[in-house]
Amino acid sequence: MIEQLFGSKTRVKLLQLFYANPNRAFYVREITRKIDEQINSVRRELANLLSIGIISSETQNNKLFYEVDKTYEYYKPLLQIFSTEGSVGEEGGVEDELKALGRVDIAIFTGQLTRDKSIDVDFLVVGDINKTQLDKYVHDLEKKEGKEIRYVVMSNKDFEYRGKVNDKFLNNIMSAKKQILLDRDNYFGERG
């Protein structure tokens, strides 16, 4: 039914992917794999979304990347329609995936996962974490992304202490481009 409202199944899948991952940029072949649609229909719908202003594009390392444009005037209403709390555009959503790691209070993608070269970490997880499950999660993420993921694990106590002493690492995380997957206590004050 939503396909009828928005014109095509491919367009709906693209909007779901972009709004579920508001600080992630994707290139065309990656998008076609993630949404399982033909490359020609993906390119056509990307051109439509680009011309409307819903997404923006940028060339980096000879690849054209697309991401949602947060300055688009209807960004917030579209975010409410197309994003799913805790989802990164995958079946089951990220919150279900993170449950296997233990008690996760904060989970953030940043660094190369958001194309922010100013930070040397790609995944931050805070809580009471099962190391074996985390290793499996990171390994699966590396396979899916096709690159090595640099990650940091902190206990809540360490995270709170670093916040109190104005830690440089946490300040860098705060100012970096990030995708907030989970923030139980609203430490970052926003989603994405």
- SS3 state at 71: coil
Question: pLDDT of 47-61, one tens digit each?
Answer: 999 999 999 998 887
Bridge partner residues of 129 (DSSP): 102
Contact 106, 127 (CB under 8 A): yes
Predicted pLDDT of residue 179: 83
Q: Read off the pLDDT of residues 159-182 as tens digits, 9 standing for 90 and up.
A: 999 989 999 999 998 888 888 888
Q: Please check the confidence at residue 99 and state whether its pLDDT lies above 50.
A: yes
Q: Are 111 and 121 in contact (CB under 8 A)?
A: yes
Q: What is the mean pLDDT of the chain?
A: 84
CB 22 within 8 A of CB 192: yes
Residue 130 contacts residue 102 (beta carbons within 8 Å): yes
Q: What is the pLDDT of residue 56?
A: 92
**CATH 1.10.10.10 domain span(s) along the chain:** 2-82
Higher pLDDT, 3 or 143: 143
pLDDT at 28 over 50: yes
Please, where in the chain does CATH 3.30.460 lie? 93-183
So what's the architecture of 2-82 in CATH?
Orthogonal Bundle (1.10)
Average pLDDT of the residues in 8-12: 88
pLDDT at position 91 over 70:
no
* Burial bucket for residue 129 (CB in 10 Å: 0-12, 13-18, 19+): buried
pLDDT band of residue 4 (cuts 50, 70, 90) is low
In angstroms, rounded to a whole number, what is the distance separating the alpha carbons of residues 137 and 131?
A: 10
Q: What is the number of alpha carbons within 13 Å of residue 130 lying toward its C-beta?
A: 11
> Which architecture, in CATH terms, is 93-183?
2-Layer Sandwich (3.30)
Q: What is the mean pLDDT of residues 97-102?
A: 84
Q: Note the Cα 133 to chain centre separation in Å.
A: 20
Percent of the chain scoring above 90 in pLDDT: 39
Lateral strand order in the sheet of 102-109: 151-154, 123-129, 102-109, 179-183
How much of the chain is in helix, strand and coil states, percent to nearest 5?
45, 20, 35
